[in-house]
Amino acid sequence: MPKRAWIAALDMAFTRLTKSIGIRPKEKIGKRQDRHEVMLFHEIRKFVNHAYVNAGVEPIKKELLIGHSPPGLEGSYLRPTEDELLTEFVKVVPYVTLGQEAELKEQVERLKVES
């Protein structure tokens, strides 16, 4: 039986995770120990948006994948298929992967082609 996940619980779990792996260490801004200059989920949205731009994803499809509604007439008339959106999403995977796995796989493939 699935249980509802509350936003506050997800926020707390994600905050603990980022502190435990050292991505976002504790800062002290003002009177509270847990305050940061930039909001955590705002940072993530900015990072993902930047990754889509660097990957060369079409702007309209980027907005749809991020969860925004496209501006202008495209929001009303553009209806990309799931396959089209998946193709655009796959482009961004190397840009949002935090490990070196994707880079190493690409290097192995390149070396196979060269040899």
Place of tokens 């990072």: 47
For 63-79, how does the pLDDT look when each residue is reduced to its tens digit (9 = 90+)? 888 888 877 787 778 88
Q: What percent of the chain has pLDDT over 90?
A: 20
> Which pLDDT score, from 0 to 100, does residue 52 have?
93
49 and 42 in contact (C-beta within 8 Å)? no
Asked if 43 and 15 count as a contact pair (C-beta separation under 8 A), the reply is: no
Q: Which residues contact 37 (CB under 8 A, 6 or more apart)?
A: 27, 29
Segment 72-103, tens digit of pLDDT: 787 778 888 999 999 999 999 888 887 777 77
Please tell me the distance from the alpha carbon of residue 42 to that of residue 39, in angstroms, as a whole number. Answer: 5
